[in-house]
Chains A and B, each alone.
Chain A
Amino acid sequence: MRATFILRKLAGAVSTLAFVVVFNFFLFRVVNKNPVDSMFRGRNLTASQKAELTRKFHLDGSKWDQFVGYVRQLLRGDLGLSFKGNRPVVDVIAEALWPTILLVGFSTLLAMLGIGLGYRAGWRRGSRFDTTSTSLSMLTYSMPEFWIGMVLLGIFAAKLGWFPVGGLEDPGSTATGFSKLLDQFHHMLLPAIVLAIAYVGEYMIVARSAMIETLREDYLQLARAKGMRDDDVRRKHAVPNARLPVVSLSAINFGFVVSGAIAVESIFSWPGIGQATYIAIRGPDLPVLQGLFLLISAAVIVANLIADLLYGRLDPRVVGR
C-alpha cells in the first residue's frame, strides 16, 4: 500500500478526532453557559459553594485557558469528575466497557449472517427468496431498535419466561467459573438478538446490491463459458468481488450498533456504555456524557480508519487515486 494513502487516511482520522474534541468543549462550556447551575438544577447554592465547584470542575479562567486545560487533561487520559459521587469519569466508563464490547461484538457477528443472505438474494434476483428477505429487511429497518427490544422482552422474558428480564447476571447469584459465564450469556442473548434483528437488514441490502453490481461483469460470463458450475461461479468469482462495499458498511454499522445499544441496553438494564449514557442523560451528568461521546466517537473513527485501510488492501485501485 502506498504510504501517501495511509498518511492521508490517518490525517483524516486525526482531524475528525480533533474536531470532536473542539466540538465537545464548545458544546459543554460555551453553548451551556452555566455548567455549575445545570448540574445542581433547582438547588440553592451559596456564592462560595458555587465558586468552589467552579474551581473544582475547572470552569474558571478564560475560555481559551479552559480549552488548553481541557486538552491537557485529555492527553493525560483524565476525563474529569462525574457530577454523581465525584467518581472519575474514566472509572465510570471503564467498568461499562466490557459488557458493551461483548454485546456489540456478539450481535455484530449475528447480524453479519445477513451478508450471506444478501449474496444469495442478489445472485437470484427477483426470486421468492430475494423478495421475501428484501421485504423483511425493510420491515426491520422501520422499527426502532429499542421497540423490538420491548416486544421481545414482553413475549420471551415476561410472558414465556425463557429469558431473564434484564441485568448482567441473576441478582444475588453466587455462581462462579463456567456457570457464571453461562448465566451472563443467558442474560446477553436476548438483547444481542434484538440488535442483530435491527441491523441484519442493513448488511443484507448492501451485500445484495454489491452482488447485483458484480452480476454484470464479463468475468462471470467467462467463468460460465468455461463450464463452471453455477455455485462455483458465485463462490469463487462473484462473492470475492462483492466483498468491498460490505467492508466499509461494517465500519459504518459499528457506529450504528453502538448507538442502537444505548436504548437497547437501557431496556435490558445491561450495565454497559449504553446504560451509562442513559443514566447520564437522566442526571444530567454532563462530564460523563462528554466522556462517553468522546469515547464512542473515537471508537467509530478508528473503525472507519481500519475499514479504509482494509479497503485499500482489498482494492488496490483506490490507493492510486
Chain B
Amino acid sequence: MSAAVAWARRRASAADAWRRLRRDRLAMTALIVLVAFVVMALIAPLVSDRADFDAINTGGNPTNSSPSGQFVLGTDGLGRSMALQVMWGARISLLVGFSATVLMIVLGVVVGLAAGFFGGWIDAVLMRITDWFMVIPFLPLAIVLASVLERGVGTIVLVIGITSWPSTARLIRSQVLSIRERLYVDRARALGAGKGHIIGRHILPNVTPLILANTTLAVPIAILTETTLSFLGLGDPTQVSWGGLLERAGTTAVKAGYWWEYLPPGVGIVLVVLAFTIIGRAVEEVLDPRLRAR
C-alpha cells in the first residue's frame, strides 16, 4: 500500500518536472536538435549502403570536390560523399557516447553507493581510489589505456568508462550520506529492513533524479573524449566516427582549404554536445530547487 503511494507520488513529481522542462524553450530546442541527429544516425543505412564508401564504388566520383548538387557536402580525397560519411559517423559517435556514459554512470553509482552506504574502511578505500583517478589527468590515462588494448569501438567505450567515473562516484556518495541519515531510513531499519531493501527501496529511488541529471551532463564528456581519441588515431579503424573523419581530414584538408571535409563533422559534435549540456543543465535546474531560485 505505502509502496503504491510512493510510486504515485514519484510519478506525479516526474510529470511535474516534465511540465516545467517543457516551458524551457532553449531546452526544448536542444531536444529537437538531438532527436534530429538520432534520426539521422538511425536512417543512415536506409539511404545508403556502407559499400558506397568502398574504393570500387567511388572510383568514378570526383575527389576533394566542393559541395555540389550531386554531393551536398562535397567529397573527400577518395571521392567518398562527405554527407553520407557524416551520417554514418553520427552512428558511432552517438553509440560510443551513450554506451560509455552508461558504463561511467554504472561504475560511479556502484562505487558511490557502496562508499556512502557502508562507510568505514570500504568508504576510505573507495574514496582513496576515487581521489587517485580524480587527480590523474584523464586524457593521458585514456591514451595509454587505449594504446595498449586492441583497437575497437569496445575499447574506446571501456577506456572512457574507466577514466571518467570518479566525479559521479563522489556526487552519489555525498547524496547517499545525507539520505542515509533521514528519519524514514531509520524507521525502516528499526522495523528490521535489510541492507538490500534499504538501498533498493529508499536510497536508489532518491538518488535517481541526480543520476539522471548527471547522465545528461556526462554524454558530452564521453562524445568529446571519443572524438579526441579517434583524432589521435586510437579509434576503430574499420568504423568511422566524427572524430575519425577529422583525423582523415587532418591538417592536409585544412591547409588545402577543403573546409567541407572538417567543418561538418565538427559542427555535428558541437551541436550534439551543446544540446546535451543545455538539456542537462535544464534537468538539473528542474530537479534542484536551490538552483531554481537563482
Contacts and interface: CB of A to CB of B under 8 A. Distances in A.
Contact of A144 (B136, B224, B251, B257): B224
12 contacts: A16-B136, A142-B277, A146-B228, A153-B254, A166-B251, A259-B139, A262-B139, A262-B143, A266-B232, A269-B251, A289-B143, A301-B136
B251 A142 contact: no
B137 A297 contact: yes
B227 interface: yes
Contacts of A101: none
B115 to A, nearest CB: 17
Interface residues of B, number: 43
Most chain B beta-carbon contacts within 10 A, residue among A166, A212, A262: A262
A187 to B, nearest CB: 14
Interface string B143-157: 111011100000000
Interface residues of A, number: 55
A166 B250 CA distance: 13
B262 A263 contact: no
Interface in B249-282: 249, 251, 254-257, 259, 262-263, 266, 269-270, 273-274, 277-278
Interface string B53-80: 0000000000000000000000000000
Interface stretch (B9-17, B102-110, B127-135, B195-203): B127-135
A256 B142 CA distance: 13
A144 B228 CA distance: 7
State the main secondary structure of chain B at its contact with A: helix
Interface string A276-320: 011001101010011011001100110010000000000000000
A150 B135 contact: no
Contacts of B149: 31
Interface string A218-259: 000000000000000000000000000000000000011011
Nearest to B136: A297
A16 B255 contact: no
B97 to A, nearest CB: 13
